[in-house]
Structure 1
Amino acid sequence: MNSFVLLLISAIVFFIAYVTYGAYLSKKWGIDPSRKTPAHTINDGVDYVPAKAPVLLGHHFSSIAGAGPIVGPISAAIFGWVPVFLWIIVGSIFFGGVHDMGALFASVRHEGKSLGEVIGVTVGKNGKKLFAIFAWLTLLLVVAAFANIVADTFVSVPEAATASVLFIAVAIVFGFFVYRRGVSLGIGSVIGVALLLLSIYLGTLFPLQLGKTAWLFILLAYIFIASVTPVWILLQPRDYLNSFLLYAMLIGGFIGVIFMRPTLQLAPVTSFTIGKATLFPMLFVTVACGAISGFHSLVGSGTTAKQVDNEKDVRLIGYGSMLIEGILAVLAIVTAGYIAGDKLTELLNNGGPVNVFSSGVGNFMTSFGLPFATGKSFVALAISAFALTSLDTATRLARFIFQEFFDTSGEGQPSPMTNRYVSTLITVALGGGLAFKGWQSIWPLFGSANQLLAALALLALGIWLKKSGREYKMAIIPMVFMFAVTLVALIQLMIANLGNILLLLLSVALFILAIVLIIQSQKAFKEIDSVAKE
């Protein structure tokens, strides 16, 4: 199979889906451009800050992408490229796109608060508390997994480490001048991108070489600071500038595939069972962010919903970002399919899926004259930038959820746990503790918890849509499938981790929380039906 044909098919299908199904969702859910968003009605200058659509698209996409759509599809390639490709296409359009756009829209209609708050309104206070616990535990796994991925990338490609550090400084300067000194977004973007390219060049001259343990401690300190600072200082500007990295990487990879037209060497389909892994449910758990991810609902209903300038932007940011991520996931499976064989195994053993992707896309870029080393370093920088974005966004989201859980507004003295410094410190400490176990041991549990969170988000969305009199079946059908996938996967993980007490306890806790939430949600559905009959 020719890689270019595969990429072209996915791009055309995703564009048609955005124009048709995305518009259908907007109409059925009643998106209203004339309605003021929480970014305007609350606007606190810290978390609630209106952002122009291109800026927010950059933040949201950079936050949800991370390394997930690269690590997931390449890891799932053991089942062959056909099942992975089909799930990316179907999942992005009918599962992930609905999930992401719905979570963002529901949050915008609930003062930019998390899905836990939406569940509190539709299911009840206990449901809200249980969902908050589940989401917070999942975010600890996100922090642990992505801290490892970034640290590994910095160790294997020290040029990316230097560039990333310099890029953070560039983003702070960009944010200050654009948001506090009135520099236009266009001029700021040109200068910001130029400084970004300079950062990449300086990275090649002065690679920052540190051990993995040192990088983990540095990253944990960084995400603590990034989580408590106002979004305009770092989050918005860095994520916006990050988006240019992504677009350049995607365009470079796409053009490279056009020129090179590599043939996929990986088998279309291998076997239903590979080792101890079975295609169902592990394919749908492993691909994760490349098709649907519960983490996306936390981003949409966490940082993104607080920055939406106009409801008309919800389709572009929610649904559109998922489809772009689908393209990235297809490019990832193309790199694995092109390399294949012993070379694929060698790259996986020395740097993991990120090394596979960086090498593959870097090789594609040689077709239009870019040196392999430069292309590989650029791709590694882009991936580490996305993973770093997901890392500090996850920390901020965990802080939001932690604060909401202990929020006793109107019920007496505020709890010290609602303090953003205290809640962030607890999150970073626990997530950091898990991080030192390594991403390989965390990723299977993260994948299951993440996809189960997606099922719960779709459940919350379905209840809210039904209760508010909107069409809701587009959320219920994918929800049922995701519950079937993830509950089976968690049972398999419990059996596989009988000797690992920590991961076993986390698996059991997530499974029990999910079952209790399902039972409570069923009661909520019945109450809605009984009220409708009356």
Structure 2
Amino acid sequence: MISFIICLAVLIGGYFVYGRVIEKLYGPDDRQTPAVRINDGVDFVVMPKWKLFLIQLLNIAGLGPIYGALAGAQWGTSVFLWITLGTILAGGVHDFSVGFMSMRHDGASVSELTGLYLGNVMKTVMRIFSVVLLVMVGTVFAVGPAGLISLLIGNQGGTGLLTNTYFWLAIILIYYFIATFIPIDKIIGKFYPVFGICLIVMAFGVAIGIFTHGYTIPEIQLANLHPDNTPIWPMMFVSVACGAISGFHATQSPLMARCCSSEKESHMVFYGAMVSEGIIALIWAAAGSAIYATTGGLTTGLTAMLANGQATCVYDICTKTMGGFGIVLAMLGVIACPITSGDTAFRSARLVIADWFKIDQKPYLSRLYICVPLLAAGALISQLNYGVIWRYFSWSNQTLAMIALWTASMYLYKNAKNYWFTAVPATFMSAVSVTYFFCAPECLHLSTKIAYPIGIIAAAVFLGLFIRATLKEHDTVSHFKMMHHV
């Protein structure tokens, strides 16, 4: 219990202390933002800071900090440390960096930012990588709710078309098309703050229920408690993505960067939303650790419940901690939250493609040309195995975070700022991503004796290449200044 309270306090303190350090590092000022300067009434629309915070939270979170935290809790309470430190030192920095850089570059998507600071090759890689990732995310967040809605109606005695998963999948994809196509302030700006509040209420309801129903949150243990003996490194660091650091956030932050009226809103909107997500993840990890019994020092109870489906586990926890009210929140959460993240995933994909091919998004037809193929691709991908899509999303998600952090590092270097605030987490995430690729079952599935040293060496190589690039550019600039002086 004490460990949980300390981690919660550190997260809150991290927002006020380390978040301000990062804000001072980037130095927001009073220049006009893209929302004010461009203001096209579609994607560049000024909205209040409180609303931007709630929309950003919902966009980056959805069910990520719930499902990911529960999956991470299978390794034991060591997950508390990753959620806490990952959020403050990596996730918050990552989200702030991309959001701020986007504002400095006319609301540019993460792929365009990567091209500006890491070169055209990486820009092309990120364009393809981010679009594929976003379509996968949008598809995953359509298939899950569609299946759950049809199941719930069937359990209530419903029959016919209303119990058909494909019917609900079609409905969700049609909604995605509408939300992706119309101006951001019409649906997303009006209704998503409400769902953001529901996500927060749901988490705090669970937290209060843990205490009032007599559950005890165990203290942090660094031992591996996973029943299958799955290694903590790097598996837990990939499973708990949205609750610590997630590359998907790099695709979402530019959405709100196009709606901020001041750069000084970055601390609350980007870093603040990430810390809030970390708090939500910490609460759900604590719930998974407290409610389900361990057997022989292993988290067998939680793993068994998750085997019945993540939505089932969420429903069970809400019921045990909040009763009937919890059931309503659980249903709202596992259905509405993924849908609201899925549509912004497709919207982000539209913007990446628009930036890529320099397509003005103010005309209706221009948006149609992009939206229709994107949703068609999502419909095709939805026919693939859900589990396979999710596993590949997990790895590509953390790889995108790694690239975004290296991009931020180069931005800071070129602006004569202390780039170690981003270079250190970038190096860490490089080790996570490469190690996972070599040892994960859905990837190369090599022994950890091989994957671990490869991951460490790869991270060191990436850091070395970055330092070499900064030295090379420094020499070029020095030579130019000398010649100019002469």
Shorter-normalised TM-score: what interval? 0.7 to 0.9
Deviation per CA, 1:45-64: give whole Å up to 9, x if none.
Answer: 00000110111111100000
Determine the C-alpha separation between the residues in 1 that align with 2:82 and 2:151. 31
1:260-299 per-position Cα deviation (integer Å, ceiling 9, x unaligned):
3412479946638764842211111111101000011110
Corresponding residue of 1:145: 140
What does 1:376-415 align with in structure 2 at a 5 Å threshold? Answer: 376-407=327-358
CA distance in structure 2 between the aligned counterparts of 1:269 and 1:209, rounded to whole angstroms: 47
Equivalent AA in structure 1 for residue 182 of structure 2: T
Aligned to 1:491: 438
Structure 2 CA distance, aligned partners of 1:498 and 1:31? Answer: 43
Match of 1:428 in 2: 375
Give the stretch that moved more between structures: 283-292 or 426-435: 426-435
Counterpart contact for 2:437–2:443, Cα < 8 Å = no
Task: Summarize deviations over 1:172-203 as a string: whole Å, max 9, x none.
Answer: xxxxxxxxxxxxxxxxxxxxxxxxxxxxxxx9
> Who is 2:31 aligned against?
35
Distance 1:344 1:123, change over 3 A: closer
Contact 1:99 1:458 in 2 (8 A): yes
User: What is the DSSP-based 3-state SS (H/G/I as helix, E as strand, rest coil) of the residue aligned with 1:308?
Assistant: coil
What TM-score, normalized by structure 1, do the two folds share?
0.78
Residues 1:358 and 1:262: Cα distance change in structure 2 (over 3 Å): same
In structure 2, give the amino acid aligned to 1:428. L
Tell me which residue corresponds to 1:8: 5
**C-alpha distance 389-522 of structure 1, shift in aligned 2 (>3 A):** farther
The 1:158–1:482 alpha-carbon spacing in structure 2 relative to 1, beyond 3 Å, is farther
Separation in structure 1 between the aligned mates of residue 228 and residue 213 of structure 2, nearest angstrom: 34
Taking the aligned partners of 1:255 and 1:247, their CA distance within structure 2 comes to 12
Amino acid across the alignment from 1:331: I
Q: Which of 272, 280, 284 in structure 2 is aligned with 1:332? A: 284
What is the aligned partner in structure 1 of residue 296 from structure 2? none
Distance change (3 Å), C-alpha of 1:519 and 1:143 = farther
Q: Which residue of 2 aligns with 1:128?
A: 123
Q: Which residue of structure 2 aligns with residue 348 of structure 1? A: 306
Q: Find out whether 1:47 has 2:65 as its counterpart.
A: no
Which digits, 9 at most, give the CA deviation of each residue in 1:65-97, with x for residues without a partner?
Answer: 0111111121222221x2211100110000101
Q: How far has the Cα of 1:393 moved from its partner?
A: 0.3
8 Å contact from structure 2 (residues 391, 442) kept in 1: no
Partner of 2:483: none
Moved more, 218-227 or 338-347: 338-347
Give me the whole-angstrom Cα distance separating, in 2, the residues matched to 1:527 and 1:393: 39
Structure 2 regions of 5+ residues with no counterpart? 294-299, 446-458, 480-486
Q: Distance in 2 between matches of 1:408 and 1:376?
A: 45
Question: AA paired with 1:9?
Answer: I
Q: How does 1:11-160 map to 2 (within 5 A)?
A: 11-32=8-29, 34-80=30-76, 82-158=77-153
Counterpart for residue 374 of structure 1: 325
Mapped contact 1:335–1:357 kept (Cα < 8 A): no
The one-letter amino acid paired with 1:325 is E
Q: CA-to-partner distance for each residue in 1:332-363, whole Å, 9 max, x for gaps?
A: 1122112325654554233x223212321332
| Residue of structure 1 in register with 2:316 after alignment | 359
CA contact (8 A) 2:74 2:303 kept: no
Counterpart secondary structure, 1:271: coil
- Following superposition, the deviation at residue 10 of structure 1 comes to 2.9
Q: 2:386 aligns with which of 428, 433, 439?
A: 439
Count of matched residue pairs: 457
TM-aligned CA distance change 1:220 to 1:456, over 3 Å = same
* 1:321 alignment partner, one of 273, 286, 301: 273
- Work out whether residues 63 and 333 of structure 2, in 8 Å CA contact, stay in contact via their aligned partners in 1: no
Determine whether 1:217 maps to 2:170.
Answer: yes
Give the direction of change, closer, same or farther, for the CA distance of 1:266–1:219 in structure 2 (3 Å limit): farther
Within 2, Cα distance between the matches of 1:476 and 1:99?
A: 11
Q: How far apart are 1:387 and its partner, in Å?
A: 1.2
CA 1:435/1:270 → structure 2, altered by over 3 Å: closer, same or farther?
farther
Poorly superposed stretches of 4+, deviation over 6 Å: 516-523
Number of the residue aligned with 1:458 = 405
Q: Using the aligned pairs only, state the percent identity.
A: 31
Q: 1:392 corresponds to which letter in structure 2? A: D
Q: What value does the CA root-mean-square deviation take over the aligned residues? A: 3.3
- In structure 2, the CA distance between the partners of 1:486 and 1:403, relative to structure 1 (3 Å rule), is same
- Structure 1, unmatched stretches of 5+, are 160-202, 366-371, 500-513
Over 3 Å counting, the alpha-carbon distance change for 1:158 and 1:234 in structure 2 is: farther
**Residues 389 and 299 of structure 1, relative CA distance in 2, 3 Å threshold:** same
